[in-house]
Amino acid sequence: MYSPEELEKARQAGRVTAEVLEAAMSLVKPGAKLLDIAERIEAMMREKGAEPAFPANLSLNSTAAHYTPPKNDATIVQENDIIKIDIGAHIDGYAGDTAVTICFNKDYGKMTEASQRALEEAIKECKPEARLSDLSDAIENTITSYGYKPVSNLTGHGIERYHLHADPQVPNVKTATNYRLQENQVIAIEPFATDGAGRIKEAEQVFIYMLLKPAAVRNPDARKILDFAQQFNGLPFAERWLPVDSQIKLRIAMKELRERNAIYNYAVLKEIGGGMVSQSEHTVIIQDPPIVTTRI
């Protein structure tokens, strides 16, 4: 559990995250380039005295998560897109994590509302000794009441210092568990709603990585990447941040790092039925009443 001093850092990080998300929402409009949005989000965090806890995720339509634009990405927001903005800032390793869906397609406004309402219903349950299963019940019941499916193999998660996906997992579907929340625990709740199959799969694309462990490598660019990745203390980093200017060299270096089990790939996640996906997320300190760090 977090100490009072740690909780204050978590609240500061959450405040920065919330302020940046608020500003980022005005950047997202048809014709805007994803790369420009992501780079501005990350710059705003640094301007406010924080660092990105992970690369800005800007996932469109049936892509549920883990899309951050690579170098020279020309993707722009289209008139009928649904875009998930999933961002996090950290201060000294203590992070806020939040997400919102912006919907330019009126046919999916109700789905966007479903994930947001599910988030709010789950937050109400975030008190000491609350059953984790009550959060999951609230999420699934709310999303299905709107006529959509929760994404069953994506979850919320605990947050610890320099550890974004700590225990417990917070399922988006009803789950039998005796786990109870503890006072001053920090968790991220992130419901995903879809009109598809209700599950995601990994795509071949990977633009986000995490250092698992140092490794003996022969490739000089692989060594350069390992040295660069140390600064993140186990937090994820973007491919576009890496100090390798050639895509061919980068692929060769990454292949060796994967073979050495030195890095973890955060593959882009797609809805298996091709359905549209909406997402909402907040970071919550378990107290009575709950404290939402990422809400302005």
pLDDT at 199 over 80: yes
pTM of the model: 0.97
Three-class SS state of 281: strand
- CATH 3.90.230.10-classified regions of the chain: 4-202+270-292
pLDDT the model gives residue 245: 86
> What is the percentage of the chain residues whose pLDDT exceeds 90?
98
Average pLDDT over residues 83-103: 98
Average pLDDT, the chain: 97
- CATH 1.10.10.10-classified regions of the chain: 207-268
- Residue 194 pLDDT level (bands cut at 50, 70, 90): very high
pLDDT at 129 over 80: yes
pLDDT digits (tens, 9 = 90+) for 13-51: 999 999 999 999 999 999 999 999 999 999 999 999 999
Reply yes or no on domain 207-268 having CATH 3.40.50.720: no
pLDDT the model gives residue 163: 97
Catalytic positions are 86, 97, 157, 165, 190, 281
CB 63 within 8 A of CB 270: yes
Average pLDDT over residues 218-224: 95
- Residue 221 pLDDT level (bands cut at 50, 70, 90): very high
Average pLDDT over residues 262-276: 98
pLDDT at 1 over 80: no
Average pLDDT over residues 203-227: 96
Domain 4-202+270-292 in CATH: superfamily?
A: Creatinase/methionine aminopeptidase superfamily (3.90.230.10)
Minimum mean pLDDT range among 91-95, 194-198, 242-246: 242-246
Average pLDDT over residues 66-72: 96
pLDDT the model gives residue 253: 96
